[in-house]
Structure 1
């Protein structure tokens, strides 16, 4: 019995690590598509949202689960639409634009500033007192971000300012995404919430970048493989595995293993795309990853 429980736990650990790796590598693949295969960022966001959402919602149809319950309550429907546009669409677009203008490693680490923004929100709205732990986390995150963006040289930035701005916007959007989705996730399936949000966001963004306008794209084998991995593995499958891991391990453990995502993005960018990464940038990256790890380990109430 105990051996069976241990085996199930390892399944959960495997699912959590693979989902984080898919998310991290997905960002690196997106950078490859933007910068080497000249895939348009706007078109990519539309297609990623539409197909990713279709796969997630479709998976629930295949499992025989009801998929329209979330639309039956006006409050949930309105919240879902707002979450789709301000949360899902802004997170996806700002993150991808930060990658296109800079690189996947930097964009992913800047997006992981979201926990600090959430702490600041709770402090500003007086929902929790300012603690020494909060101060330490914010301090080390600022130091980490500074080192990440400058490599210790204040006279230059390692990526364009626009990439940094969009990366920070991505972190802010992810903070909103996390906080605003909570009421929906308390009554609805997380896969359906994310799946429908992707579909709604994709339909909305399709008015800006229609998915059928591909005249400027060069369809090659690397492009098709990259798009397939990013949409199937880096979006739908990654989220499905993340949710599936919760059947075997606790949410706390899953969030800890989630810190594997930025690490994977950094390593895959260095190994595959030959991204130059200085020693102080490594220190900065470790500060940010460490901050996320500490927040995953501290008691939920704190």
Structure 2
């Protein structure tokens, strides 16, 4: 009897240790994915300014190129090929992934661009960060519990840090007409969708398979509506190389890692840790333009780093 109890305790301890390892992997993946997103934003802004690239053209190219990277990555392993073949034989799961494509990928990119157009990048970033509040509400309703103290503190630190990093502590940087408010709230909803919707299909079909199909559907629909071939920019070799970097690192790498973080660490934790994105974007911009950090920005960095420590 004692032996049975001891073995049962060992198995439970082993499961707990494995779960902690998976969560730590998810935390690292989310932070690296958010960092890639931040770098991608700075590089994309440079591309649009230097080559007069339309934002929607860049979105189309990134999605239609990255989708094949995801599908190729899924096809590398026997398990990935099995998952890819399995989902293609399941109309119901394809419909679920199509929902992820529209609500979590296409909607998030269009809403963010429209929010920037009606307001500015600082306001859009802050509005987008409200998505973590929606994720917290969703998690609490789904688990039928109240928010934990650590979650509430984490959300407050993340929101305050994002505000300081995005605006430099200057409220005049905010611009919120009615249309901007609507698109900003749409940003928050789409950010919450990105942290919630892919989790279930990824658990069954894998990260690369779900992302590959979702990006293919999103890119195809957006291309049919926007027709990027009618908006081709004049690119030199450097421009093509930077676009390739945006596709491989800023899209394939960023989404693969962030959504792996959603799967491993959970929607709430990933949503909070994703606020590393504006920190990375600000640091990249400062390094690129050789401008000094302001005191509010440094305080914002400190708050977000404190949130990361608290969340991890």
Residue 164 of structure 1 and its aligned partner are, at CA, apart by 8.0
Q: Say whether 1:45 aligns with 2:59.
A: yes
Matches within 5 A, 1:11-90: 16=29, 19-63=33-77, 65-66=81-82, 67-90=84-107
Q: Say whether 1:204 aligns with 2:218.
A: no
Q: Which of 160, 181, 190 lines up with 1:173 in the alignment? A: 190
Residue 242 of structure 1 and its aligned partner are, at CA, apart by 6.7
Moved more, 87-96 or 38-47: 87-96
- Distance change in 2, residues 1:205/1:70 (3 Å): same
Q: Is contact 1:45-1:96 (8 Å) kept? A: no
Partner of 1:121: 138
Gaps of 5+ in 1: 1-11, 298-302
Partner of 2:252: 236
Q: Say whether 1:281 aligns with 2:297.
A: yes
Q: Let me know the Cα RMSD of the aligned residues.
A: 3.8
Moved more, 49-58 or 127-136: 127-136
Q: Which deviations, in whole Å up to 9, do the C-alpha atoms of 1:102-150 show, x marking residues without a partner?
A: 45x8866764543332113334677321343344334434433443454
Q: Which of 132, 157, 162 lines up with 1:140 in the alignment? A: 157
- Distance change in 2, residues 1:68/1:174 (3 Å): farther
Moved more, 142-151 or 112-121: 142-151
Aligned counterparts of 2:97 and 2:203: Cα–Cα separation in 1: 13
Aligned counterparts of 1:82 and 1:244: Cα–Cα separation in 2: 18
Q: Which deviations, in whole Å up to 9, do the C-alpha atoms of 1:236-263 show, x marking residues without a partner?
A: 24455678999xxx758x9698665443
Q: How high is the TM-score relative to the length of structure 2?
A: 0.71
Bigger helix share: 2
Q: Is contact 1:109-1:285 (8 Å) kept? A: no
Q: Which deviations, in whole Å up to 9, do the C-alpha atoms of 1:275-301 show, x marking residues without a partner?
A: 77532133234434543553x32xxxx
Aligned counterparts of 1:175 and 1:203: Cα–Cα separation in 2: 23
Aligned counterparts of 1:97 and 1:222: Cα–Cα separation in 2: 28
Q: Say whether 1:267 aligns with 2:278.
A: no
Residue 58 of structure 1 and its aligned partner are, at CA, apart by 2.2
Aligned counterparts of 1:277 and 1:199: Cα–Cα separation in 2: 39
Larger CA Rg, structure 1 vs 2: 2
- Distance change in 2, residues 1:231/1:159 (3 Å): farther
Instruction: Give the 3-state SS of the residue equivalent to 1:207 in structure 2.
Output: helix
Aligned counterparts of 2:306 and 2:207: Cα–Cα separation in 1: 27
Aligned residues: 278
Instruction: Give the 3-state SS of the residue equivalent to 1:208 in structure 2.
Output: helix
Partner of 2:235: 219
Residue 210 of structure 1 and its aligned partner are, at CA, apart by 1.7
